[in-house]
Amino acid sequence: MSFCLPKPVIALAPMAGVSDLAFREICREFGANFAVTEMISAKALMYQDKKTRTLLASSRGDAPLFIQLFGSDPVCMAEAAAILASDKTIHCAGLDINMGCPMPKIANSGDGSALLSKPGLAAQVAQSVVQAAEPCGLRISVKIRLCNERDPLTTAQLACTLSDTGIAFLTVHGRTRPQMYSGSSDADAIAEVRQAVPKTIPVIANGDVRTAQDAADLLRQTGCDGVMVGRGAYGNPWLFREIHALLSGEAPPEKPTLAEKCEVFLRQLHRAGEVKGEMVACLEARRHFCWYLKGERNMKPFRERIVMIKTAAEAAEIAREIVLSQENAAL
């Protein structure tokens, strides 16, 4: 299977509880040219966990797509990679290894960002996944965070170690594990990685991309081959369209109207319902709906109802009332 990263990469990040198939498809509609699934436990995959299968939901239009795996046992990771590589129902171009998640329940088990402090094991994990999946046509990437002063290697050194394992590309989030999601992303540290890693291996910069200008600045400051958008995409898939316009020198696209926001949200909810069932989709949609309404005035009464949504019909009625209230206010 041939695979080439888009140039430049304007990617949707793997975010637990957010980057599901429905949201990925919406973001692709507005310009996300690459995406990674929510992180999936290698052990859960091996035990054929039903929820894990839902996380693997994909479609032919959801491409190019990488599936993100987390785990720290090279044998387990290789077996999980082999399972994914042999499953013809999954539409993916490769696998991404999570070495960046700072959440205690992940890192305290030795997975995610805990691998930053164990470069030898990190390299073993990457190499085992490459050896298991590449013969089946899947490419492998790794997503890391910045190393801190207590780690045995600098981020650039770790990146070079990983680049020797046969991975196709690397994504770097510009925060350390202790930072979690606080503070600012360090573009200079990401730039050091880009300078250290061979040019044949693309590097994608991740962190603090909330506007199109943020994306352009991050590309300029780091010299990376693309940017990955995380929390900036919450309720704002139009951000990808804005990034493309700015990088192409085009006029900024018009901001979405409140009616457009509601329409896109309802399409996302409908798609999520097809994949997960209405009940689960509505529970998860509560925060998505609030994200879509962020920055809009006089939404408090609606938010109080949104957090109680149980059916798609309720969501559609609230959306109708929101649009109607705006129209009446404009009279």
Catalytic residue among 101, 224, 262, 282: 101
Contact 226/201 with Cβ under 8 angstroms? no
Residues in the chain: 331
- Pairwise CA distance, residues 275 & 196, whole Å: 42
CB 27 within 8 A of CB 56: no
Tell me phi and psi for residue 45, to 5 degrees: -65, -40
Residue 101 annotated among the catalytic residues of the structure = yes
List residues bridging with 143 in a β-sheet: 98, 171
Q: What is the dihedral of CA 123, 128, 130, 133, to 10 degrees?
A: -160
Catalytic residue numbers? Answer: 101
